[in-house]
Structure 1
Amino acid sequence: MRFAFFGSSLVSAYWNGAATYYRGLLKALAARGHEVSFFEPDAFERQAHRDIADPDWARVTVFAPDAEGMEKALRAAAASDVVVKFSGVGVLDRELEEAVLAMRRPGRIAIFWDVDAPATLDSVAADPGDPLRRQVPGYDAVFTYGGGDAVVAAYRKLGARLCLPVYNALDPGTHHRVAPEPRFAVDLAFLGNRLPDREARVESFFLAPAAMLPGRRFLLGGNGWSDKPMTPNIDYVGHVYTRDHNALNSSARAVLNINRESMARYGASPPTRIFEAAGAAACIITDRWEGIEAFLEPEREILLAADGGDVAAHLEALDTARARAIGEAAARRVLASHTYAHRAVQVEAALEGRDFMREAV
């Protein structure tokens, strides 16, 4: 099949946490013989902060972030069998959602792919006039990158013909164990941009444990934290390019995951960072959320924390041998069950099983 994706960016992870999800999944689809095109706007300085060159497994088109640029991109996507609008492009989202839906016809399917379903659903619930209420029943399918039964039920209530969670996963060719680097040799590392529905949880699960353990070393990466008060034992390093993620995950004694508030509330939304870290055999500590057991086994493959006190307790009890054992167990689990190759097969089965290609408008 020929796929055309409209998303925030495939080539830059700058203010774009979904980048590695796009890369892993689309690369796996291409490996299965599908043609992949990705259309992204030239916005938010992402092109100036590229992590990768245009890959050989996807045709990347960067378009001007205006109506004319969007129309050119849509015309270029018209030859595709499957046209996908990812949520959270950042510019022209409303216009693209309407335009991609309008491209649906016999022989061409239209999919809305929500990479932040809890936040999207909260927004729709708060706004009876949100255009997505009208659009969802028109799309051939809604895919999400998480959310489990709660998200599926919410989208079905909005009229979705099909709602399928396609979870984050691991690309073992990109994220894997490497030699440790002294600059990342800390007791606990956390990567995450400063966002309104994440900040309070970062204060609780990361900044508070750092204050409790002044003798331990902490590392904070991500955009937007430069003016945030923090204790001297925290090294704030700003944006960490994806090329350095393996080194960070392979060097820190433990890596912390903190879900955003909405994702923690819905549950069943393991972020990309968990699989990246597991691929590097990192010992992961995560905030506690419903559904984690479907991906990694608590205490054996991942450590759970209800608050900052639990994070501090885990760090105090964690020696090198136990950290290594937990990390290696996590790596075995995700390689066996949670790679993007697994997810690509799931997407294929959903598309082929629905007989989309012959369905009339």
Structure 2
Amino acid sequence: MARPRKNWPMPPEVPPAPFIVVGADYGPFLAAILEGLVSPTHGPLRIAPKGATPMKKALLVLVLACAALSAAAPPAHAQTTSATRARWYDVQRLQDDLAVLDDSLATVPTTHPRYREFQNRADALRSDLARLRDDMQRSGNSGDLAVSADEVNRLRTRIRELQNDIDTSLNRRWTGTGSVVLPEGTELTVRLERPLSSRTARVEDRVEATMARPVYVDGRMVVPAGARVLGTVTQAEPAQRPVRGGRVNISFDRLLLDDGTSVDFRSRVVQVKEDIVNSDTAKRGAIGAALGAVLGKVLGGTKGALIGILLGGAGGVITAQGDDVELPEGTVFTLQLERPATVLRR
């Protein structure tokens, strides 16, 4: 005998939320959503496009959800991210570039027709560099006040443009083709582009640097500042505390010029410094006494990083007293050619 079926009560019908009929153009309605258009009675409006299939409805809901999330997101602050923020090393490098510019300005005769122009441009560069340095000191780790890498690059470009204008006005640029020989004993001032440590370095590791100063032969610039210099680690020994400090030796042997040519040379390291600024540079009067203030110590740069570093031996081995050799980015090497090197220009 069949059991009687119970007549379960039907749930009350829920009235549908109000809907808007939207045609092919959803632009005005999206704009209304972004302006916060909602139903005062039912909250957010539900959309049911006329004749839309379930798939189209789902896609439309997804689009509107993304639009709502974008509208609800807080406005982005105009902060300088860590990826685009300038480092203290960048400011130190600008100071080195100004020191090189000082050398060039010192050779411009006071009777030169563009002497005053060059001096005024140098004054503006000093002021802008001092402002960048002060901004970085005030900002600390604040993203709102940090100096951007773009600001540093623009200032570096202006320094190079002034350097090029000075060389051109004095007819010191080598614009032709042919070859020039760098004599034995020529010194190259290069800046390390990546940190190097006797603790992690391995023999045959590649080392990259850039020319910190241009090289002149017979009054003509043969190698410009900024040219890439490549080298190789030929010796690397970590420290064995407290018995022996670390040791590292680098052989720089290749120069890459901006026209695509390369120069093979043989050199040894004869000096290691934190930067290329020295007391003689600051005392010379071409840029003026204000340069001395701008070329002061930079917090967070390589200042003090080379304390205890020794250079000795015929091969220019770099050692440290009881610790590993730590050469930070920006370390300046003076290289001396052990034999002539030929520079070809195409």
TM-score tier after normalising by the smaller chain length: under 0.3
Greater fraction strand = 2
Q: Answer with 1 or 2: which has the greater Rg.
A: 2
Structure with larger RCO (C-alpha < 8 A, sep 6+) = 2
TM superposition score normalised by structure 1: 0.22
TM superposition score normalised by structure 2: 0.23
